[in-house]
Structure 1
């Protein structure tokens, strides 16, 4: 199997009345960080909430009438599921989607809302893939791979065509990498038009199969650890996508959970964009290595489908990573007024108490001790250091867990 520039152009024609030509918006804060223009390619507002509709529709639109009649089956943590379900509805095919146990409920609900039957299988995308393949073999339905098919790669590559048109002087494109379909398609399309452009792939540190695979010269399977970036938690590069990424992607870097949460917070707070953790991987890479990317830079925000409960957790995580949120235990004498004195100290320092738990009866405490679990909002890292320093100077014992 192979993919060519002409395949991407043909895919664009198929998608003309289906996919949205998503905007690019300038991020002033990231532009200041990098020292040149940084633009965000907003696939988080694509139909179905991510770029996945592009490849899924191209794949399904090229099925024969007999194949459509047999139906399609897919596997996904959520975004490919929604893309396949919406594409299947558009071409009139029945769809069944296998999802890992614990897949975000909004993604499950949206997939069903587009008309697909959802089946839960295993704890990972790879386990769901195995279940989907088995169902396809048993039922005769057409298996729609999330990334390892020429039509999928060509569909995702249409983003690369849009980027070079919307930002003709682009020097660097930064894109999240899971199985490699998005990065492969964008790299192929963009470099066919602008050979000098650099394409940087970004993986979550806890689910990074490409760096080891590229070093070895062939796809290597890894066991993904739990990561908030579930959309790119893929254990093995595709047989089709691996050589394309090796040829068209200049470098693959990794980012931590802390960097992902800070990037999500920045997109929400400064750009007013709701993006899922996998979708902000490129932004996280810019925050980690601001001078490693030659501007103008275009960062692909690949998806915006995030569970509100996860969003609240990630935002808190991001506030901690940004030094604007403190959580710790503090020991104080168990006597009347001791808690009031502590709270007065915090108020005097300008720290905003978000939550407080006062504990007096615990085996770890002496009879004359109490312990308070505090969650504080601060103005930033320097303010955090000031608060902690003043509490210690006042004689309090601080415990971080």
Structure 2
């Protein structure tokens, strides 16, 4: 198993950047509710809230970061458009932002991405370019397209503006809890490249420094947890193999890891079977549709991997773009 040293050529965002992002996306992104869950609170002995980003534009938190990055592109540079790499949720966030801003968009997506996500990306007006996860370098493909067209690359996570946009999830969590006279003791979020959990950590730790922020991953793709233990960016041994398609980045981002190593430093993981049960639980008990990659933090809670006892916990449901066939298999589990 190989490791990668930390090297970030771009500035690290701070909570002020998250607050600025919140102003930019206000009225465009959905301010998703913070929902108290009696059943999860009774089950865990904690005061449990859910942050359902399944209700966000395009069905995931990804719209926040994409729009915050793209709305800052100067008008004169927008005609050349943007390029992004994604298995589906960032793709839709970029495509929707491009449509709102009147920009063309090209998305480099793996051939094994869910058809639902590919189709919705195209329906939003983006051009989709496929690639093989095992044999091709998606970043190289995106760079070549950007160079040819003069387009701007919008990274899925390793970008300060994208991270700041995702951090508005954490900002809203802190603000909505404060309105109830509460502070978070734990916030658990799903993690792939780390943009969401890094942004959340920036926002949450600024207001609640004692809170635990936990990075939740599929078993076998726990590169963040291993990286926290070793102190360097570890790579996953395989590029695919979990049905949590939204969470299969090969390694933590260089920029995101600089944020999460000191502010998060803790990971939890669950198997696909445990995730399937969480997807079913969300539907049957919480009345929410959550995709596998969006349900990993919930699965960690249900399986007792978060060490929750007492206090106030927030579980981020990061996305709800699940294919019907996959959803049915989860319910059958």
Normalised TM-score (structure 2): 0.91
The farther-off stretch of 63-72 and 141-150 is 63-72
Larger Rg: 1
Query: Alpha-carbon deviation of 1:306?
Result: 0.5
Segments of 5+ residues of structure 1 without an aligned counterpart are 320-401
Change (3 A) 1:147 1:124: farther
Alignment of 1:1-400 (within 5 A): 1-123=11-133, 127-168=137-178, 169=182, 170-222=184-236, 223-289=238-304, 292-294=307-309, 295-316=311-332, 319=333
Change (3 A) 1:55 1:293: same
Segments of 5+ residues of structure 2 without an aligned counterpart are 1-10
Query: Alpha-carbon deviation of 1:214?
Result: 1.9
Q: Which has the higher contact order (CA 8 A, sep 6+)?
A: 2
Cα root mean square deviation, aligned: 1.6
Give the distance between the partners of 2:136 and 2:53, measured in 1 at CA: 24
Give the distance between the partners of 2:49 and 2:325, measured in 1 at CA: 28
Give the distance between the partners of 2:135 and 2:127, measured in 1 at CA: 17
Give the distance between the partners of 2:136 and 2:287, measured in 1 at CA: 33
Matched residues, number: 317
Indicate if the aligned counterparts of 1:125 and 1:233 stay in contact, CA closer than 8 A: no
| Partner SS, residue 203 of structure 1 | strand
Indicate if the aligned counterparts of 1:44 and 1:304 stay in contact, CA closer than 8 A: yes
Normalised TM-score (structure 1): 0.76
Moved over 4 A (4+): none
Give the distance between the partners of 2:45 and 2:75, measured in 1 at CA: 52
Indicate if the aligned counterparts of 2:225 and 2:265 stay in contact, CA closer than 8 A: no
Q: Deviations over 1:277-329 (max 9, x none)?
A: 0111111111121670243111000000001111112222xx2xxxxxxxxxx
